[in-house]
Amino acid sequence: MFNEPMESFGIILVIALVCLALLLALAIIAYGFAGAALQFAWAYEFGFVGVVVFFAAWVFMFPVMAIWAVIWGWIASRQDG
């Protein structure tokens, strides 16, 4: 099936890199959800207006809020341990 040993090594390397990328993506998603929950809890402290501003910020500033959520989730996970 494979003509050369390096060809099979390349396929194994690609599979390993795909697995690593999936693990990294899952970690980023988990940190993002945890950070978004912390953002919501923080906004909830300011009452109804805080929650409205929270959802408006997610709609109008999605990339900024998503990056902030991932960073906040990552920092919170480091402080828990």
Give the pLDDT confidence of 37-58 residue by residue, as tens digits: 999 999 999 999 999 999 999 9
The model's pTM: 0.80
- The answer to the question of residue 9 being in a domain is no
Residue 31: what pLDDT?
Answer: 96
Structural domains in the chain (count):
1
Residue 80 pLDDT: 63
In a domain, residue 56? The reply is yes
pLDDT of residue 7: 78
pLDDT of residue 81: 56
By residue range, what is the domain housing residue 73?
26-80
**Is 40 a domain residue?**
yes
Contact 8/2 with Cβ under 8 angstroms? yes
Mean pLDDT of 3-19: 84
**Contacting residues for 70 by C-beta, under 8 A, at least 6 apart:** 28, 31, 32, 35
pLDDT at 63 exceeding the cut of 60? yes
